[in-house]
Amino acid sequence: MKKQKLIVGLGNGVEKYAGTRHNFGFDVIDRFNEKYNLNYDRMNTTAWISRSKRSSYLRKKLETQAVLGKPISYMNTSGPKIKKLLEKLGANIKDLLIIYDDIDLDLGRVRIRPSGSAGGHKGMRSIIRSLGTDGFARLKLGIGPQGDLNSEDFVLQKFSKTEKDLKKKVTDGAVEAIIDFCNNSIDELMSKYNGIDYNQKTVRNKNKEL
């Protein structure tokens, strides 16, 4: 049986927050499921999940099985839900990827890291506290620049009409990064994606694509 990867997008699981900057992680998971025609199942009160094994195309495309999740919680209490999801699935922390918004990066930029601090992100702080480690991979999606708004108000803004095309490019790129996470090492992912600026359509790292 193939190994299993767990990919979790962060957001606030309440309808009024749909489409906000803080729900960027949710949007990536939704787009992956839309692209590959996967359906969600509700795992009790823990998360909405989908599984790549339900797609014959993905079973052939992926080196490992992928389980994609959206915690049924508010952003700031994501940690206990993700811990429970890992336990229910019997998944390993080293096979976990968290996708979330980063206010310190401009929209169009992404960062993949194998580990690291929460950096002021309350959802990540909750996860690190619940798991007892920061040693898991993360894909950070830029939502800046912040401007004059305070952080709490800015992250709960919806993306503007002029930002939506750029957001779509980033979202589609993140969907491809999920595929790569299932097939390649984290070092290969960082080499491929960390130099990309979707806004300028440039790649600072000239290494060959995976």
pLDDT band at 113 (very low <50, low <70, confident <90, very high): very high
- Residues with a known catalytic role: 22
pLDDT for res 210? 43
What the chain holds in terms of domains, given with CATH numbers, is: 4-203 (3.40.50.1470)
Q: Which of 105, 172, 166 is nearest to 141 (CA)?
A: 105
Using the predicted structure, report yes or no on whether residue 205 has a pLDDT greater than 90: no
pLDDT for res 199? 87
Task: Give the single-character DSSP code of 93.
Answer: G
Check the CA dihedral 111-87-61-24 and report its sign.
Answer: negative
37's CB contacts (< 8 A; 6+ apart) are: 55
